[in-house]
Chain A
Amino acid sequence: MTTLVFTYLVAWLFIGGYVLRLAIDHHRLIRRMAEIDGDVEATPHELARGKHVA
């Protein structure tokens, strides 16, 4: 039972780590885009959707 629980726990932590990495990267990209355009009014969602791309 210990092996089973440990295996599932490690697997989900690993998947969770990847999702966390995606979230951190996404946040970093949004901040960078806002810095480039200097637009503080755009929401992160709009930035992510490419509102500032000419």
Chain B
Amino acid sequence: VLVFIVAPTEATMGDVQRVLYLHVSVAWCGLAACLVMGVCAALFLGSRRLEWDHWSQASAEVGWLCATLTLATGSAWAHEAWGTWWTWDPRLTSSLILWIIYAGIIVVRGSIDDPYRRGRIGAVLAIIAMSDVPLVVMATRWFRGVHPVAPEMDPSMRWILLACVLMFTLMFFYLIVLRRRQLGFAERVAQREAELWWSRATANN
């Protein structure tokens, strides 16, 4: 409602500029999820408690979701603003690298059955992934490209952008909490399955 009705129409780009509210929000959430993923991964390595690994995995999944949305919304906006769906701008390239890292972590995790081994390897990858965050944030300042750095905007637009960022952050954090809870439950189910298998095996012998 804020984006479509309250936010003023931008003079140069028109309605399509409203993609900004979604694009910036999901981009921020993607970066924040990467930091949460890395910190939880480090905590898992330090404590070997699977709860931290579940936080890390949940953040990786939600972060991948946000990174995908960042690339998709940015691409749609770039098509209108720059006349191309994609260009090898430093900000875009570093965001694509983040997406690939997220996807890689999810694929690697999915291929390992042992939860502690999965957690260890996932944690190392998650900590490496964190190094891409400053690159994405500073890409527009460190390198020359077409992506805007921090454009001036009307105060009403800035407040709506802030509200959108806050709402999306809360929503994605809730999704991380839900997913983490589910991963904990899946772990308990796996333990019960193992107990059942063991009790049947001993009964047969």
Is A14's CB under 8 angstroms from B68's CB?
A: yes
User: Chain B contact residues: over half helix, strand or loop, or mixed?
Assistant: helix
Give A12 to B182 CA distance when docked, in angstroms: 22
Give A1 to B19 CA distance when docked, in angstroms: 10
User: Chain A contact residues: over half helix, strand or loop, or mixed?
Assistant: helix
Is A11's CB under 8 angstroms from B175's CB?
A: no
Is A7's CB under 8 angstroms from B175's CB?
A: no
Is B68's CB under 8 angstroms from A32's CB?
A: no
Tally of A interface residues using CB under 8 Å: 25
Is A18's CB under 8 angstroms from B26's CB?
A: no
Does B49 count as interface, using CB distance less than 8 angstroms? no
Is A36's CB under 8 angstroms from B196's CB?
A: yes
Scan residues 18-48 of chain A and give those whose CB is less than 8 A from a CB of chain B. Answer: 18-19, 22, 25-26, 29, 32-33, 36-37, 48
Tally of B interface residues using CB under 8 Å: 32
Does B178 count as interface, using CB distance less than 8 angstroms? yes
Does B167 count as interface, using CB distance less than 8 angstroms? no
Give A22 to B61 CA distance when docked, in angstroms: 11
Is A22's CB under 8 angstroms from B182's CB?
A: yes
Does B73 count as interface, using CB distance less than 8 angstroms? yes
Q: Which residues of B contact A11 (CB under 8 A)?
A: 22, 26, 69, 72-73
Is A50's CB under 8 angstroms from B188's CB?
A: yes
- The chain B residue sitting closest to A19, CB to CB, is B175
One of B65, B188, B195 near A18 (C-beta < 8 A): B65
Q: Evaluate whether A1 and B15 lie within 8 angstroms (CB atoms) in the complex, with A10-B72, A33-B189, A36-B189 already known.
A: yes
Give A32 to B196 CA distance when docked, in angstroms: 12
Is A4's CB under 8 angstroms from B26's CB?
A: no
Q: Which residues of A contact B188 (CB under 8 A)?
A: 33, 50, 53
One of B18, B69, B185 near A29 (C-beta < 8 A): B185
- Given A4-B19, A15-B69, list of 16 further CB < 8 A pairs? A1-B16, A3-B77, A4-B16, A7-B22, A11-B73, A18-B62, A18-B175, A19-B175, A22-B178, A25-B182, A26-B182, A29-B185, A29-B186, A50-B185, A53-B188, A53-B191
Q: Residues on B close to A: CB < 8 A? A: 3, 15-16, 18-19, 22, 26, 61-62, 65, 68-69, 72-73, 76-77, 79-80, 171, 175, 178-179, 182, 185-186, 188-189, 191-193, 195-196
Can you list 5 pairs linking A and B with CB atoms under 8 Å apart?
A8-B3, A11-B72, A14-B68, A32-B193, A33-B192
